[in-house]
Structure 1
Amino acid sequence: MLKGLFSKHTLALSVFLFSFSAQAALSHISINSRHFKLDQHPQLKLNIVAANDDLSRLSFHLRQTVGANEVVEELMLQPVSRFMLYAIGVDDVSDPNAKLIVSEYKGNSWQQYAVLSVFDAPYIKPNGRSDIKIDAAKALKKVPLAATPAEKDPIIVTASNNSNNSQACMVERNNTETLWGIASRYATSWNTHVYGAMLALYEANPQAFSQQKIHLIKQDVPLRCPTKVQLNQYITKADAKLEFESIEAKHRSQ
């Protein structure tokens, strides 16, 4: 009897932990910047904080009203970093109230996670430094149980060669400085804010953080300067602060 009771409790605990893990898979999503105008095809840079890198369990759709009809297009995805994605579509967006619908696969179904206003995001004019292309060979696949639309190709982002110049640049620091202190000194010269500088430093130097946790910077490890691509990911201080706090909270809880 005790054995049976123990088995039931073990099963219940396993189900609870599985459910908690699934619910915590996606903890933050926001639009970092918009790279298109009205009546152009959608190109978005997204901030993301997730427990893992399995994008097959996430879906991104752009919903707009065209005439009397509601039109929904699934966007193609290309990871830029652990905390950023590019999303692109092929249908022009003519609705100024268009929404980005983000869904997550939990249990046996897709569940809506967020609805974001596309044109509320800051507009960044494409400047040719990044080349977004469609590549059929690297399409991201959804989980098998998901409804699969017509197969589309993802985008590939090729960074400017100038970003490699940072490999020869090293951050000056002493062994008592915190990540905040280092970022505060460099934020102005890097044309960013302290939260953007901290996130870029973390992304450029994962080996400099104990257990790769953002609040555990090592004292005796040299730091490389972030690339321009890494620094330009974080447009607004508010978004960068939210992303930093989400990452820090997740790392402290592990």
Structure 2
Amino acid sequence: MIFGYATGADGKPSAPIKLNIQDYCHILLTGSTGSGKSYALMFLIGCLLKDSPETEVFICDFKNSEDFRFLKDYPLYYAGQHCYEGVMEFFRRFNDARENGKSFIRRVLIFDEYPSYIFYQSMMDKDNKTKLVSDVTNAIATTLNLGRGISQAAWLVTQRADSSLFANGARDNFQVVIGLGRLSKEQKGMIFTGEEIPNEPMKRGEGYLLADGCEIRKVRYPQITNLRDWKWHIYDILMRSLENNENSSQSTPLA
């Protein structure tokens, strides 16, 4: 799968950064408002489905953004308060796969604006005496800790990747970390521990990518010339994958 494009000395995209989605399944995508996170996420989803069209994708969109409005009829799209239901349904299927020891379906949970949901729901839990945040953070921590071997993955999109968002040190289990835009010194230390990153201006969609076992690389996400068509293909593949996966239990488990 293409995870972005390395940039040359002139700052232009050069070679694609290709990684095996089985080995690099968990992604943390972070950056401030306007850094190009949503744009990069749409690129990554498209590349995932091109490389692995059978993937079952859960999308949690807490802010109910225009970016994902094209998925309103997709059964595994969850907006606003329904994000809790999306995570719990994903986790139910995750546990089914874990009990089997192998998954017949590659499955990815994508949670956009994850910290916003956690902060909002924390206040609601306090008022309503519920524990929904604990359910979500534990489900995601378990996925990050155990999901790689059974083809179950989590992609989280954040403005900041504070450790408080991740239960049991789960932040350390992302195989790919992408930081877009001009990151603060504190933020660099959070997500790129021990790496020397120059303080330089960044255009929208530019940043750094660190994958396990690889050197940190400057990354850029190219402009999608026809975003409407790109989204239509994403929707079409997702809907067809749902139909095809109905008979997945008769198939061979994923490697």
Higher helix share: 2
Structure number with the bigger relative contact order (C-alpha 8 A, sep ≥ 6) is 2
- TM-score normalised by structure 2 residue count: 0.24
Larger Rg: 1
Higher strand share: 1
- TM-score normalised by structure 1 residue count: 0.24
